[in-house]
Structure 1
């Protein structure tokens, strides 16, 4: 199969975990290449995500790595299987940065997300009016064509929270500053805060608020998300966002670090009911 100069995050995560399986059994690239009857470079491309892997080759590697449980094998195969359905964002690929296309595809495939947003409501939780204000950056007037595309994509991504089959599970911690920043004005902000309370009622959503009163906290005021794929569930990836791009971390040490930071934040933040009361209090304080 031809090499892909822009491998998807999903393929990179799959390849990374295949490498870990191989190394956990003390096997070299030569061993994998031998059972696949190919050269070492092909296995290397698969493990780096630059080349897709055929189902037959994947089954052969799973045999080599002694993955015998039927459920686990199907999990690996489902991650590698090319979807036959037309993904909704494909028609927009030429208008979106590649790393943003990766993000959309990632959210379609993962089963769970843990995250921290200190200064802005997370994109998955934004109302249309709040998102318009964020994307517009406070500029007056309607959004331009590219900004409108970003808005449409953001609203479409949110459907992962309420889709009938396997809605994405989200545990989000928001900084109090994200609730008090008057994005779009008081009316927009009140509607946004009420929307948060409604989302928190979904069985797949857990929402906590990190109040100003906690002072300093581990990890600092930097947003992040930890995405987890369906079974085999040890497949995770960390997402770091900035103004112009997205960075994906797949090393176990990075995943472990951000997992520890999240655990510290959730233990430090208000509980779910206390967070709801805090949001309701801010709604009352927000004047027209």
Structure 2
């Protein structure tokens, strides 16, 4: 009797353990489940930025049209920072064949509300890079009360980028900051002829009107324009940051244009030299391995 009792108990224990294991497998062990971590879902790979796109379309306003860079109150796209053939433009720096693989859809006087239409025209060429320099005219109005509301500015920018993404999901976008309009007023007002052109051609009256006035009302008006430009640039940066293939370049707003880099006809728009400086800023931002700060 004593030699058989131990083995029988061992066999019974093994049977009980097997039964318990079966129950745990069938029902799951609640305590273990609480300690288990679900496998991490891998993040989608960020699309690679091409530092050497093979085609580009440029959108914007008078700056990108080379306005007042060659003659008074006229466009001169040949010296455009973006697509010009008579300056060391972005297209000439980047592309093997700039004359056949770059397009300029900017229009003098354009505001952000015009960007969706410009984008639709550009998409037809399937550019690998789209440049945007737009927004100064949204602040350059007859009066500060007419400046484009920030929400409308944002909506039009988002609409344009949505048009691009729905047709060309892998095209890249370079968005330049709006130049410092108050800085341009400060530089240009040093030239007597420039101030006469500002008045005669009604150039950016919200900022440049009564150029020599420094009374409280004039200073407040310029401060409102300056503030709105800052708000527009914040929108450009924010909207661009939500697109993996968009780079915002705040260096354009921070660039201190001198009189040599301003048009000798209106002392407000970039001269040929100024256009070249803009091309250089864009080229550095686009060919950088990482987005500029």
Q: TM-score when scaled to structure 2?
A: 0.28
| Greater Cα radius of gyration, structure 1 or 2 | 2
Q: TM-score when scaled to structure 1?
A: 0.28
Q: Which has the higher strand share?
A: 1
